[in-house]
Amino acid sequence: MGIEIERKFLVVDTTPWRDSAPATKLWQGYLSTVPERTVRVRIKGDRAMITVKGKTEGATRAEFEYDIPVADANEMMGLCEQPTIEKTRYKVEHGGYTWDVDIFHGVNEGLLLAEVELESEDEDVPLPAWVGEEVTGDRAYYNANLIARPYSTWDDKD
């Protein structure tokens, strides 16, 4: 079984890495956002994949991801819950880890999140100065939940 263990943080500063980190545009939609199982379609550059994720327990959940034809992914986007998620993902190296830093667009414009994948939940990760509050357990920041409650509608943004 595939397992994903990750921690998620708000990003407070993009200047140390934004101009030098590799970036890719992502477009993703959700066929299911039920907390016990989410099903995501993602187009990432010239690749597409479908991902099934189980319920999150702490920072861990089951994850299964498979490549699919881009043409199929484009058609599946029409079946997805709306709105879809648009973001630019930067790969940022820090302290021996590769961080995925997402700058959201569209209805989630203004949201900046950083995720780091781990081998175990108790792994001690050196945090970069450009991350702020940890939001690992905060369901509001799950991509699947940003469909029902986009960041642009939040009254309580920092």
Bond from prior residue into 126 cis (ω within 30 degrees of 0): no
* Contact between 131 and 9 (Cβ < 8 Å): yes
State the sign of the Cα–Cα–Cα–Cα dihedral 23, 93, 28, 150.
negative
Tell the burial category of 38 from Cβ atoms under 10 Å away from its Cβ (0-12, 13-18, 19+): buried
Catalytic member of 30, 66, 97, 141: 30
Active site residue 90: no
| Distance between CA atoms of residues 26 and 13, nearest Å | 21
Question: Which stretch of DSSP H or E encloses residue 104?
Answer: strand 97-104
Assign 105 to helix, strand or coil.
Answer: coil
CA 106/CA 87 separation, integer angstroms: 8
Which residues are known to be catalytic? 30
